[in-house]
Every structure is written in C-alpha cells, then in structure tokens.
Amino acid sequence: MVGYANFHGPPGVNDLGAADAAETGYTIFAAHRGQGFATELAQAMMDWAAREHGVRHFISGVAPDNAPSLRVNDKLGFVRTGDVVDGEMIFELRRR
C-alpha cells in the first residue's frame, strides 16, 4: 500500500458547495512520495467519476505549504479559485 484516496462525498459535498462538483482527497505515504503516484491516483479518480457517474467538475483543497500537492494540481490543470477554507487554498477543474 502506497497511500489512500477518497472523495469527500458525492457531488455537492465539497469546500465550495458546488452542487455538481466532487472533491478529491489523497495521502501518499512518505516512502512512496515523489514517484508520480498522487498524480496518477487523482487522475484515475476523476476518470472513474466521469466515466461511471458523469462528474465533470472537481474541487481540490491544498495547504499553501504543501508544494507536492500544489504541483499535482498544476499537472492536472486545476485552477485556484481564490477561496481559502480551513487554511487550504481551493482549486477547481472542469472537464469536458
């Protein structure tokens, strides 16, 4: 096991309260960081949600000092919304 992942709930349960958006969350254990697992995992989660449930809007909350997760968001195309919730910067991604 290299880590774990989840959605914070069904679409609508997210830091922006956007009815159509699912919020991703994941943790990669320290021994496995820096190998691309987080990017691959987040991409797979969003692909699954889109394919199985038609979700096209995603939210991600990241602490400002979490450079690795900020890089993951950048690689995946998330855009900062300007919102901050519980000390985390909020990002969103809308897929076609």
For residues 22-41, average pLDDT: 97
Enumerate the domain spans of the chain.
3-94
Please tell me the CATH superfamily of domain 3-94, with its number: Gcn5-related N-acetyltransferase (GNAT) (3.40.630.30)
pLDDT digits (tens, 9 = 90+) for 1-12: 999 999 999 999
Q: Is residue 78 a contact partner of residue 93, using CB atoms and an 8 Å limit?
A: yes
Return d(Cα 86, Cα 20) in angstroms, integer. Answer: 21
pLDDT digits (tens, 9 = 90+) for 47-95: 999 999 999 999 999 999 999 999 999 999 999 999 999 999 999 999 9
**Residue 53: count of CB within 10 angstroms of its CB:** 12
pTM for the model stands at 0.95
